[in-house]
Structure 1
């Protein structure tokens, strides 16, 4: 079975190479395709990639802070997703999380590079092997044996680069996305559960970041408080559609719209 591994940028390339080398040790019937190393010398790379994209049953996208808006990543993700009925597209997030994603990548089920999340991905890939898949207990044993090797390699790569502090997406981008989703919801009064989950996650993440007094926190918290009424109206209508939305709605209702310092000062006031 072909697994297409997509990358963009030097860090993403090293991460992709590590997964390419590691994957067949766990699932021997899997054949990873990794560019450009897997293209024969003299080959017409564009034709070769196009063929591999169309034949792949699994697409792994190595997403980092540096390539989150890469045109090449988006091109390959789009090509893979054209046949979603037979292709599973999975962005693997390194050093970022779901709240950092924007645009087309948000439609895919992501995997964070943790042992539990990566095991779920390997289970999905194994399931695509149909009658040749490993029994669950065998897969667990093999994964336990090989996981430390991959974890060590990935940790080594990530620790060798300079981590840039600060959010991947700035406050304005997050607020604009929340406003766009809110307006859209008010026009149609019908949101897919995933969209509402992302709306609440982004709102809560933004609130909690500003509550820690990061950036222009007082203005941002005031803006969020003004927006909360519309979002509450939408969320209340859909909060019973899934456990995730219900839990997010409960967290949303507990937001204080105050900074840590303000809350501490109120708690210290004697009565």
Structure 2
């Protein structure tokens, strides 16, 4: 017998909520193992506690964020996107664009593989991705038949949601802005590739028993510089977190990865962190480092920070 796949659907604002509810009702037709979760409270009002979000995330294996022109820069949309990606991984999080194109998507959520809700092929790709992670999954040919049968239902529901929205004067992104973002992404990927090449070369040198080299390796030197910069960035991040929570409440810091730091604090420190979660998220976004703030042994509640 298969295990249901819990899907966390995040939303903010009236149109986004209606989109989330339409997906909640429609997705189980694609695969009965899909179990969508849509919260009953608007995240923009901050009425859902962070511990509630964390508990739901623990049970979810896929995340969908319903994005509109109006809410794409909303702090809570970006917070939940970060929390979802941190728990599930980038490949398990899909921004679902109600009334904008991928090229007009901005902010932290733009780094994920987005789905344009008005594109049948885009939604089909999302359905196939979700089905592949279900247990059991539906046969490809049968899934396509079901999708084609029910696509009109979802499309018509979303058309009504878009039609009910007031006119939005959010400008469409200009071509130079999009090109600048692409250049930045390419540069970042180039640095990552060079860093990987240096690690591979270093591993080969260490494991070689027949040849030694003392040649200067500029890639290795760059990798060492990057590690030092990363260490400094983590130290600055930890200092900023301590200033928000209070140095006297900090007990221990544990670096899990270069982008994931765990802090152990006193009960008073946790209360401060819960009250200052937006400021802590701003710190995490600034340094692109995520983490958690919890009591010793991660007992009880904790505060999660996403790295964007």
State if a TM-score over 0.5 links the two structures.
yes
Q: List runs of 5+ in structure 2 lacking aligned partners.
A: 42-46, 194-308
Evaluate the alpha carbon distance shift between residue 166 and residue 78 of structure 1 in structure 2; reply closer, same or farther with a 3 A threshold: closer
SS class of match (2:37): strand
Shift of 1:102: 2.1
Evaluate the alpha carbon distance shift between residue 179 and residue 115 of structure 1 in structure 2; reply closer, same or farther with a 3 A threshold: closer
State the alpha-carbon separation in 2 of the partners of residues 20 and 179 from structure 1: 33
**Matching of residue 100 in structure 1 with residue 104 in structure 2:** yes
State the alpha-carbon separation in 1 of the partners of residues 185 and 48 from structure 2: 47
State the alpha-carbon separation in 2 of the partners of residues 189 and 82 from structure 1: 20
Shift of 1:97: 1.4
State the alpha-carbon separation in 1 of the partners of residues 182 and 32 from structure 2: 46
State the alpha-carbon separation in 1 of the partners of residues 36 and 125 from structure 2: 18
Evaluate the alpha carbon distance shift between residue 30 and residue 183 of structure 1 in structure 2; reply closer, same or farther with a 3 A threshold: closer
Among 57, 60, 80, the alignment partner of 1:56 is 60
SS class of match (1:91): strand
Q: Is the 8 A contact 1:90 1:110 kept in 2?
A: yes
Normalising to structure 1: TM-score of the pair?
0.60
Shift of 1:180: 10
Normalising to structure 2: TM-score of the pair?
0.53
Question: What is aligned with 1:17?
Answer: 21
Name whichever structure is richer in strand by fraction.
2
Q: List runs of 5+ in structure 1 lacking aligned partners.
A: 38-42, 194-271
Shift of 1:190: 3.0
**Matching of residue 116 in structure 1 with residue 121 in structure 2:** yes
Shift of 1:94: 1.6
Question: What is aligned with 2:180?
Answer: 178
Question: What is aligned with 1:190?
Answer: 190
Q: Is the 8 A contact 2:63 2:94 kept in 1?
A: yes
- Residue deviations 1:100-158, cap 9 Å, x none? 2223112111111111110110000000014x000001101111111111111111111
Question: What is aligned with 1:82?
Answer: 86
**Matching of residue 73 in structure 1 with residue 73 in structure 2:** no
SS class of match (1:66): coil
Question: What is aligned with 1:142?
Answer: 146
Evaluate the alpha carbon distance shift between residue 182 and residue 7 of structure 1 in structure 2; reply closer, same or farther with a 3 A threshold: closer
Q: Is the 8 A contact 1:2 1:55 kept in 2?
A: yes
Name whichever structure is richer in helix by fraction.
1
State the alpha-carbon separation in 2 of the partners of residues 35 and 74 from structure 1: 16
Shift of 1:189: 9.9
